[in-house]
Amino acid sequence: MEKRDELYRGKAKTVYLTDDSDKLILYFRNDTSAFDGEKIEQLERKGEVNNKFNHFIMNKLEEAGIATQVEALLSDTESLVKKLDMIPVECVVRNVAAGSLVRRLGVEEGKLLDPPLFEFFLKNDALHDPMVNDYHIVSFGWATEAQIAKMKELTFAVNNVLKAMFDEAGMILVDYKLEFGVDAAGNIVLGDEFTPDGCRLWDKETHKKMDKDRFRQGLGSVVETYIEVAERLGLSL
Q: Which range of residues forms the domain containing residue 141? A: 85-221
Asked if residue 169 and residue 154 are part of one domain, the reply reads yes
Q: How far apart are CA 237 and CA 227, in angstroms?
A: 7
How deeply is 160 buried, as exposed, middle or buried, from its count of CB atoms within 10 A (0-12, 13-18, 19+)? exposed
| The pLDDT of residue 37 is above 80 | no
Average pLDDT (56-80) is: 98
Work out the pLDDT band at 38, boundaries 50, 70, 90.
Answer: confident
Closest CA to 13 of 70, 59, 96: 70
- Whether 60 maps to a domain, the answer reads yes
Confidence (pLDDT) at 68? 98
For residue 72, what are the contacts with CB-CB under 8 A and spacing of at least 6? 79, 80
pLDDT digits (tens, 9 = 90+) for 154-191: 999 999 999 999 999 999 999 999 999 999 999 999 99
Containing 156, the helix (H) or strand (E) segment is helix 145-168
Residue type, 163: K
- Count Cβ neighbours within 10 Å for each residue of 117-150 and write b for 16 or more, e otherwise: eebbbbeeeeeebeebeeeebeeeebbeeebbeb
Same domain, residue pair 158 and 54: no
pTM given for the model: 0.95
* Dihedral (Cα; 24, 29, 35, 38), 10-degree rounding: -120
> Alpha-carbon distance 50 to 230, whole Å?
10
Give the pLDDT mean for 110-138. Answer: 97
Domain boundary among 82, 110, 125: 82
Mean pLDDT of the chain: 96
Shared-domain flag, residues 115 and 64: no
CA-to-CA distance for 196 and 212, rounded, in angstroms?
6
* CATH code of the domain in which 126 resides: 3.30.470.20
75-97 pLDDT, tens digit per residue, is: 999 999 999 999 999 999 999 99
Q: What is the pLDDT of residue 111?
A: 97
Tally of structural domains, the chain: 2
* Statement to judge: residues 102 and 119 lie in one domain: yes
**Segment 137-163, tens digit of pLDDT:** 999 999 999 999 999 999 999 999 999
